[in-house]
Amino acid sequence: MIPRIHKRGKRTIGLLYYLYGPGTHEEHIDPHLVASWDNNAPDPGRDPQATLKQLQRLLDQPLHNIDEADRPAKYVWHLSVRNAAEDRILTDEEWGDIARRMVAAAGIDTPDEAAGCRWAAVRHADDHIHIIATLVREDGYKPDLDHDAARVQAEARLLETELGLRRLNRGDGTAAQRPTSAERHKATRKKKERTAREELRETVRRAVAGAHSEEEFFDRLAAAGLLIRRRVAPSGDLLGYTVALPDDRNKDGEPVFYSGSKLAPDLSLPRIRERWSGQAQPSGNSEAQPSQGPRSAASGPASARRRAATAAWQAVLTVDQGDDALIAAQIAAAGEVLDALAKTSAAHTRQQLREAASAFERASRSHIRAARGHDRALRTAARDLIYSGPALGRGEDGATTAMLIDMAFFLVTAAANWHAKKQHAQQAAAAQQAAEHLRAAYQAAATHPMAILYQRGRHLSQPLQRQQAAYLHQAVPELAEQILAEPGWYALAATLADAEATGHQPAALLAEAAARRELDTAESVSDVLVWRLRRMADLPADASTMPLDTSTTKRPSSRPASPSQDRQDQRRKAR
């Protein structure tokens, strides 16, 4: 249930015309009263003798109890209450009770004192009502509406539980502004999946991901095709900006511009500048130093993804162990990495990564202000992803994409856990939702490279397979049986063999990889260890580029092994 307090107005009759009218797109059906301050109030929707003027005069009558000079300039209070699409359709009686509880919670009506404001609740659709009220009480006093939005939100949470509706998490005032009903109707009319506000928010987020200066930021906005207006002070200083989609016009044919702050709280120009404030601070991670330009050396998609995976891993450790301001910075910068990854991803992962970035946007803000500058490694990783260009779906590009998504999943999960500890309910839920999209994106990205590794592991000689199983028991005895039972064990065995062939000590490397962070949240422990090992040992993510040592490899079987045969092989290796 979403209660929304609209801007106050000064024309009761104007709002009544809208509430009882057909709507902007004939979407209003059977407008009628479900509750009001007076059970005998006229209902122009159901009573043919009642008029909007009569209802307006009755609503505004308390204004005449005070001098005109003391009347509020804007005295029309307007609240809409909307249910989720999956909620059951409530009766008029239920909506009437909701309306009475909402006006009481807001401070509009005080039934115990019998001195509330006059109000009326109009229903013109199955899923929502509108409440209109006059902000002068019957006794001539004005109601105390401090924190009315917070109070109606709290009441909505209670009503959701009592009525068996979808339960939303308590907000904290840091969420981006929702599209208005007019914006949603406009998008529907133009057959667009998203409103202009939502499309602009995503485009601006992507433009700021990893950007190092105002010039770079505005160049990216222009390259994305947005119309841009800069707000400049008489001194010449830039104060802010607004953006518009070229095809989003008002009734006069003019572009509809939105300021950054109207898209999201952290997209205002002052908040964006905070991201650049700490660029000069040194970073302890040499792999994450800023690139020397859009086309610097080693800036291919695979290299950028590998560096981003390293930066994400360092961020996971900070989220696990750092203080709140540092953690908030890492989480905010993680959103930039997800935006950059979604922008440069291959077609088969693009939608899920885009959904992950969109969901995580809510998790990137809280009332804990980020200590900017300490997020330099992740912001540089986002920049490198942008300038490395789109990745191909196969080969090293595709495999390093799977590697980065795997690491991003752990970072997003760590962010969800931190938000949950801080009781940031909406942010924690958003991060969990982003993690689910990343899980789906990983499955799409990892299928091909993991299949190659699986086949390499299956074709290792029996002595070599037993040797890799011995390394596993030596390094992580508590996880060995679980990993041997996973389909990904053969990919891990191949990775251990590759690491040994390049001069590493497999058992020591595996123990280090497993000890770096818990593995409880991993759907496949073997998959996680594969990517950690290949990154730590600097092995190609795409194993098809590595030569296969035929001297230690058995001849491929003429038919694929069955799952039961795989399990028998694993039990023999364990022994």
Write the DSSP string, 387-451. HH-PPPSSHHHHHHHHHHHHHHHHHHHHHHHHHHHTT-HHHHHHHHHHHHHHHHHHHHHHHHHHH
- DSSP single-letter state for residue 115: -
pTM of the model: 0.74
Same domain, 156 and 188: no
Q: What is the pLDDT along the chain (575 residues), one digit of tens a residue?
A: 889 898 899 899 999 999 999 887 678 889 999 999 998 999 999 999 999 999 999 999 999 888 888 888 899 999 999 998 888 999 999 999 999 999 999 989 877 666 789 999 999 999 999 999 999 988 888 888 888 988 999 999 999 999 999 887 666 678 888 888 778 888 888 889 899 999 999 999 999 999 999 999 999 999 999 999 999 999 999 999 999 999 999 988 999 999 999 999 999 999 999 998 765 443 333 333 444 444 443 569 999 999 999 999 999 989 988 899 999 999 999 999 999 999 999 999 999 999 999 999 999 999 998 888 889 999 999 999 999 999 988 899 999 999 999 999 999 999 999 999 999 989 999 999 999 999 999 999 999 999 999 999 999 999 999 999 999 999 999 999 999 999 999 999 999 999 999 999 999 999 998 887 667 667 889 999 999 999 999 999 998 877 765 444 333 333 334 444 444 454 444 44
Boundaries of domain holding 361: 342-366+389-574
Q: Which of 135, 163, 191 is the last residue of a domain?
A: 163
Helices (H), 9-80: 12-20, 52-60
Same domain, 50 and 194: no
Residue 312 domain-assigned (yes or no): no
Residue 314 domain-assigned (yes or no): no
Same domain, 410 and 548: yes
Is 56 exposed, middle or buried, given 0-12, 13-18 or 19+ CB atoms closer than 10 A? buried
Q: Could you tell me if 103 and 119 are in contact, meaning their C-beta atoms sit under 8 angstroms apart?
A: yes
Residue 129 domain-assigned (yes or no): yes
- For residues 488 and 472, give the distance between their C-alpha atoms in angstroms, rounded to a whole number: 13
Bridge partners, residue 36, by sequence:
120
Helices (H), 228-323: 260-263, 269-276, 301-321
The amino acid present at 52, given as its one-letter code, is L
Q: Could you tell me if 312 and 404 are in contact, meaning their C-beta atoms sit under 8 angstroms apart?
A: yes
Residue 176 domain-assigned (yes or no): no
Given its phi and psi angles, is residue 562 left (phi above 0), alpha (psi -120 to 50 degrees) or beta? beta
Same domain, 144 and 218: no
Same domain, 453 and 559: yes
Bridge partners, residue 258, by sequence:
243
Same domain, 141 and 190: no
Same domain, 21 and 125: yes
Same domain, 159 and 188: no
* pLDDT at residue number 573: 44
Residue 233 domain-assigned (yes or no): yes
Count of other CB atoms within 10 angstroms of residue 462 = 12
DSSP 119-188: EEEEE-SSSEEEEEEEEEETTSPPP--TTHHHHHHHHHHHHHHHHTPPPPPPP-S-SPPPPPHHHHHHHH
* pLDDT at residue number 86: 85
* pLDDT at residue number 483: 94
Same domain, 217 and 69: no
Same domain, 144 and 241: no
The token duo for 172 is 């904290």
* pLDDT at residue number 52: 95
Buried b (16+ CB within 10 A) or exposed e, 541-572: bbbbebebeeebeeeeeeeeeeeeebeebbee
- Torsion over CA: 543, 546, 547, 551 (sign): negative
Angle made by CA atoms 222, 225, 226, in degrees to the nearest 5: 75
Residue 283 domain-assigned (yes or no): no
The token duo for 423 is 């009781």
Q: In what order do the strands lie in the sheet with 258-259?
A: 227-232, 238-244, 258-259
Same domain, 416 and 495: yes
Residue 289 domain-assigned (yes or no): no
- Counted domains in the chain: 3
- For residues 20 and 56, give the distance between their C-alpha atoms in angstroms, rounded to a whole number: 12
Buried b (16+ CB within 10 A) or exposed e, 414-452: bbbbbbeebebebbbbbbbbbbebbbbbbbbbbebbbeb
- For residues 317 and 407, give the distance between their C-alpha atoms in angstroms, rounded to a whole number: 12
Q: Among candidates 204, 208, 201, 214, which has minimal Cα distance to 175?
A: 201
Is 474 exposed, middle or buried, given 0-12, 13-18 or 19+ CB atoms closer than 10 A? middle
Q: Tell me how far CA of residue 102 lies from CA of 143, 168, 423, in angstroms.
A: 14, 17, 25
> What SS3 class is residue 205?
helix
* pLDDT at residue number 114: 65
Residue 327 domain-assigned (yes or no): no
The token duo for 516 is 């770096």
Pairing outcome for strands 117-123 and 76-82: unpaired
Bridge partners, residue 437, by sequence:
none
Q: Which of 236, 269, 302 is the last residue of a domain?
A: 269
Bridge partners, residue 134, by sequence:
76
SS3 content of the chain, % helix, strand, coil (to 5): 55, 10, 35
Q: Which of 128, 163, 198 is the last residue of a domain?
A: 163
Same domain, 45 and 187: no
Instruction: Give the chain's radius of gyration (CA, Å).
Output: 30
- For residues 507 and 496, give the distance between their C-alpha atoms in angstroms, rounded to a whole number: 8
Q: Tell me how far CA of residue 201 lies from CA of 333, 378, 438, in angstroms.
A: 16, 21, 21
> What SS3 class is residue 28?
coil
* pLDDT at residue number 251: 86
Q: Tell me how far CA of residue 455 lies from CA of 442, 451, 542, 556, in angstroms.
A: 19, 6, 13, 9
